[in-house]
């Protein structure tokens, strides 16, 4: 798609904590962004967890993007991340990713991770440009479509750990459930 833009326009957004009142706009963005979208209950279930945080990107009074992420001991894990379609390619997603990356430090949380659908090329390219790299394929990760996921990871400068520690935890919990 050609936008006809010559000079790159960027949209400055304010990124703040998500509040209950943001939910209708967040749900609208979610529905316009994903074939298999989260319901309001999915958002609330996630946000009720003590380690789960929601943030929105606001332009004026309008919420045009959001991100949901979990705080873990050594990393942040993105659960959901989207920009309203009409506001894409203006640097909004990049500002949200930069906000997350700014929370990393060499001695505490050193990584940001997320799972991306194998068919979601736009997101793979976007996160790659933000400095994320694909580190692992998780076969048939999504129950809805059966797709694989690529685990993508941003590492704070100098950090070389991969995600094998959390994989070990997941394997143990899967074992316990079975
Ligand atoms: C992925 C997403 C969040 C990007 O948001 P955005 O605000 O459009 O991203 P930005 O404008 O900050 O893009 C920064 C750079 O990333 C790359 N990029 C972003 N979208 C891209 C696309 N569709 N194709 C190729 N590269 C892309 C480009 O290099 C872009 O810079 P440019 O516009 O100067 O070329 C947005 O497309 C989206 O909401 N997608 C649907 C939801 C989703 O897939 N979420 C991620 C999985 S949870």
Beta strands in the chain (DSSP E): 14-17, 52-59, 62-71, 75-83, 111-117, 133-138, 149-155
Residue 144 pLDDT exceeds 50 = yes
Report pLDDT for 7: 53
Taking domain 14-175, whether its CATH number is 3.40.50.620 is answered by: no
For residues 5-16, give the mean pLDDT.
81
Residue 166 pLDDT exceeds 70 = no
User: Is ligand 1 within 6 A of the CB of residue 8?
Assistant: yes
How remote is the CA of residue 81 from the centroid of ligand 1, in Å? 10
Tokens of residue 20, six digits = 């209950």
SS3 of the chain: helix, strand, coil, percent, to 5 = 35, 30, 40
Report pLDDT for 42: 97
Per residue in 49-62, pLDDT tens? 999 999 999 999 99
For residues 24-31, give the mean pLDDT.
98
What are the domain boundaries of the chain? 14-175
User: Is ligand 1 within 6 A of the CB of residue 131?
Assistant: no
Closest ligand 1 atom to the C-alpha of 127?
A: 16
User: Is ligand 1 within 6 A of the CB of residue 129?
Assistant: yes
Which percentage of the chain shows pLDDT scores above 70?
84
Report pLDDT for 9: 85
For residues 132-145, give the mean pLDDT.
96
Mean pLDDT rounded to a whole number for the chain: 89
How remote is the CA of residue 123 from the centroid of ligand 1, in Å? 6
Hey, whose CA ends up nearest to atom 27 of ligand 1?
A: 126
Per residue in 48-100, pLDDT tens? 999 999 999 999 999 999 999 999 999 999 999 999 999 999 999 999 999 99
Report pLDDT for 30: 98
User: Is ligand 1 within 6 A of the CB of residue 120?
Assistant: yes
Ligand 1 pocket mutation pick from 79, 121, 122, 132 by most atoms within 8 angstroms of CB: 122
Tokens of residue 160, six digits = 């070389």
């Amino acid at each position: 798609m050609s936008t006809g833009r010559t000079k790159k326009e960027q949209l400055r957004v304010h990124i703040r904590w998500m509040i209950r009142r943001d939910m209708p706009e967040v749900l609208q963005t979610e529905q316009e962004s994903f074939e298999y979208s989260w319901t309001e209950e999915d958002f609330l279930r996630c946000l009720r967890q003590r380690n789960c945080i929601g943030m929105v990107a606001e332009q004026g009074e309008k919420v045009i993007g959001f991100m949901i992420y979990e705080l873990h001991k050594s990393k942040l894990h993105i659960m959901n991340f989207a920009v309203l379609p009409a506001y894409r390619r203006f640097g909004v997603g990049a500002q949200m990713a930069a906000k997350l990356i700014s929370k990393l430090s060499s001695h505490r949380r050193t990584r940001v991770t997320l799972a991306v659908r194998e068919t979601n090329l736009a997101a793979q390219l976007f996160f790659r440009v933000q400095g994320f790299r694909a580190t692992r394929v998780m076969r048939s990760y999504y129950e809805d479509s059966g797709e694989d996921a690529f685990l993508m990871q941003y590492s704070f400068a100098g950090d070389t750990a991969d995600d094998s520690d959390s994989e070990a935890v997941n394997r143990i919990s899967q074992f316990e459930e079975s």
